[in-house]
Structure 1
Amino acid sequence: MAHHHHHGNNHHHHDVDNIKVAFFLNLGFTIIEIVGGLYVNSVAIISDAIHDLGDSLSLGISWYFQKLSHKGRTPTFSYGYKRFSVLSAILNSVVLLVGSVFILMETIPRLIEPEQPDAKGMVALAVLGVIVNGAAVLKTRKGKTANERVVSLHLLEDVLGWVAVLIGSIVMSLTDFPILDPILSLMIAGYILFNVFRNLKNSLRIILQSIPPDVNTKDLENQLQAIEHVTKVHDMHTWTMDGEYHIMTVHLVLDKDVDLDTGAAIKAKSRQILKAGEIDHVTIELESPNEHCDLEEC
């Protein structure tokens, strides 16, 4: 079974390109940002640069894994490479986690002894930051895979970080309030950490093969049991490859032995129900009423 959701077909041509564009935008801007942050003596901008450097690395990994995830099945990976995009999402989260710790180590001394940054230079960098990262968000925003969602979230964090830096730098250029710079830096780090843990949780759910949140297995079980000749549904297992492509195996117990054509009709009806319930790939086993199944309790 190789059918996809309709919403996935067009998107699969664009996700790699979207991540590639976001990668080059991010990497180019990170270099400007590191130089600019050091020049204007702003820990908020340097912390955002660390974050962006992490994002650039993450985007590079994401771009590679997203390309890899479209390869078909191989003798080693019978489901193809879809799950590699989840591995990428986990790696990205770890990179951001390390970056956030680095930001906190740099920022805390500045809270104790604030240094006055070049606020006007900060305003110019912040405006550029909002524009460049905003463009990258628009490229990845409609992503469906876990990988694209994490990438888009990274970039959205960057935009919000730059909006905060822009407001802070305007305030600092009008008033003598240098402690605002490390305060902004801490806010950026806190926001990153909050989202990192949320993303790690979602990615680990996929890796640990939990039932996808958008699949209602109880409802699907009831619908399958309502099919003519089906008396019982058991050994139903549901998981997702990448947060988008869902897989199910299920056993259907019949009320009597049926011929092959009737069996095929029951399977076709089951597939129709499961496809409508967001299942992309299904394996159905039919059992006669007297057949003993060792997996019944599974």
Structure 2
Amino acid sequence: MGHDHHHDHHHHSHSNIKTAFFLNFGFTIIELIGGVLTNSMAIISDAIHDLGDSLSLGTAWFLQNKSEQKSNQTFTFGYRRFSLLGALINSLVLVAGSLFILSEAVPRLWNPEPAHAGGMLLLSLLGMAVNGAAVLRMKSGASMNEKVVSWHLLEDVLGWAAVFVVSVIMMFWDAAILDPLLSVLITLYILMNVLKNLKKTLFLFLDGVPEEMDTEQIEQSIRSIPDVEDTHHTHIWSLDGEQHVLSTHVVLNEDISKADMMKVKASIKEALEAYPLEHITIETECTTDDCSLTTLHH
């Protein structure tokens, strides 16, 4: 027995990531040119990081699109899990990018270089506007892929906010050291959050039970239905961090009629409506000697 909860946000995921990709890639080119003209290593470093972002966004765009394809004989659950793969790749790229930024910023704490503050100010305003627009576009995203992409873009917004503050200060005081200092602090903050997302993504890859699903509570609600003697072999996993799958064995009273069995199935379906389940599989068993193994749990 299975049923689907249809959602209309998957095509929005594709559109959101596509928009973020073009915004990010276009601005990366502007950023590289601007970094050279202003002699700002912070901007050049951020441009290289943005280039990495663009590559991972392109990967996310492709994988998100792939994840929306219909199921077939090869991938019977469809391609939703490809979206999770995109989230994993993006997390790893962002971790690598953050480590690169730290390797560039930390040495500059001891050897800060002068840069064109006015040019940095203009680029920072443009950077906050472009990346801010992309963050707002991704804000409604619910998949792990979109959440990781959002961290890519949020890192850029915070980075440009730091460049803005530093450029304003540098226009009045000789305080070039603030640039790498802020870069280090922001990168560490973003890195911490990305590692949390990476942990969650790996957990889902290993078929861990999604945090909003309570296996014991679900089993208890099924057992409370009339004519249900027991339930076991309950397995819950996630396709993409958003849509989940459940399978379970339900032991029924051996005297149950076919009509009552259908009522039990309808009751189970109703009890599980509260959960974000994409697909449910229920195997019914009886309490006769032929089903003696059903007393074993997991």
Which of the five TM-score ranges fits, normalised by the shorter chain? over 0.9
Q: Which residue matches 2:230?
A: 232
1:126 to 98, 109, 124: 124
User: 45-54 or 149-158, which moves further after superposition?
Assistant: 45-54
1:220–1:277 Cα contact (<8 Å) kept: no
1:285-296 paired onto structure 2 within 5 Å: 285-290=283-288, 291-293=291-293, 296=296
Q: Which residue matches 2:275?
A: 277
Against the structure 1 CA distance between its residues 2 and 223, is the aligned structure 2 distance closer, same or farther, given a 3 Å change threshold? Answer: closer
Q: Which residue matches 2:85?
A: 87
2:251–2:294 Cα contact (<8 Å) kept: no
2:40 is the counterpart of 1:42? yes
1:138-177 paired onto structure 2 within 5 Å: 138-177=136-175
Q: Which residue matches 1:62?
A: 60
- Percent identity, please: 48
Against the structure 1 CA distance between its residues 121 and 244, is the aligned structure 2 distance closer, same or farther, given a 3 Å change threshold? Answer: same
Amino acid at match of 1:127: L
Q: CA–CA distance in 1 between the matches of 2:44 and 2:183?
A: 9
1:231–1:255 Cα contact (<8 Å) kept: yes
| Unaligned segments of structure 1, at least 5 residues | none
Post-superposition CA distance 1:233-253 (Å, at most 9, x none): 211110110011110111111
Task: Please state how far the C-alpha of 1:135 moved relative to its aligned partner.
Answer: 0.7
Post-superposition CA distance 1:171-191 (Å, at most 9, x none): 111111111121122123212
Q: CA–CA distance in 2 between the matches of 1:109 and 1:14?
A: 42
What TM-score, normalized to structure 2? Answer: 0.94
2:6 is the counterpart of 1:23? no
The two structures, once aligned, show a CA RMSD in angstroms of: 1.6
Task: Please state how far the C-alpha of 1:86 moved relative to its aligned partner.
Answer: 0.7
| Unaligned segments of structure 2, at least 5 residues | none
1:243 to 241, 244, 262: 241
What TM-score, normalized to structure 1? Answer: 0.94
Against the structure 1 CA distance between its residues 232 and 250, is the aligned structure 2 distance closer, same or farther, given a 3 Å change threshold? Answer: same
Aligned positions, number: 295
2:13–2:64 Cα contact (<8 Å) kept: yes
